[in-house]
Each structure stands twice: as C-alpha cells, then as structure tokens.
Amino acid sequence: MTNIRKHALVLPDLGLEDTTLRAIIWLVPKGHTVRQGDRLLEVLAGEVTFDVVAPAAGVLSTKLVNEDDRIEVGQDLGFVTSRAA
C-alpha cells in the first residue's frame, strides 16, 4: 500500500532583525518533480537573497504564495507531496 505524504515548505528563521521578507521567484513550476535540497523559491531579505529548498523528494504540489508576496518566518509557502511504500 502506498501512503501519500505532504511536506510543508516553510520559511526558516534566518536570524535577521526583519522577519518579513519577500518571495522573489519560484524556481520550479508546480507539478514538477524535485529532490530533497533542490532550490524551489528565491526570497529577498533586505538586499540579500537566499533560497528555500525542498524538504523532501517528491512533487511540488502546492504553491501558497505568489512572486512578490510579503512573507514571514514560519509561514507555509507550499507543499511537496511524496509517496512512501
């Protein structure tokens, strides 16, 4: 039997004073297969950009934020769905 798992893509705490950031660009389209650690979303913090990576291997099944949206630490940004045997 196959179980479907949803892994939340969460904006991590980067230890920055400004906890509100901006989603810049999705690097992977919805429905695309990803590996754990793949770069999925580029985020802007002040003048610095960083990548949010896939928490697990699977498919980028849901995008909860759009490009140019303001986002906050701990916010769910999307989901990667995987199948476990």
- In the chain, the domains with their CATH numbers are 3-84 (2.40.50.100)
Strands of 2-55 (E only): list them.
3-10, 20-26, 33-34, 39-45, 48-53
Q: What does the DSSP 8-state code read for residue 17?
A: S
How far apart, in Å, do the first and last CA atoms of the chain sit?
6
85: pLDDT strictly greater than 90: no
What is the per-residue pLDDT across 52-71, written as a single tens digit (0 to 9) for each?
999 999 999 999 999 999 99
Report pTM: 0.88
> Which has more pLDDT, 1 or 27?
27
**Per-state percent for the chain, helix, strand, coil, to nearest 5:** 0, 55, 45
What is the per-residue pLDDT across 5-56, written as a single tens digit (0 to 9) for each?
999 999 888 787 766 799 999 999 999 999 999 999 999 988 889 999 999 9
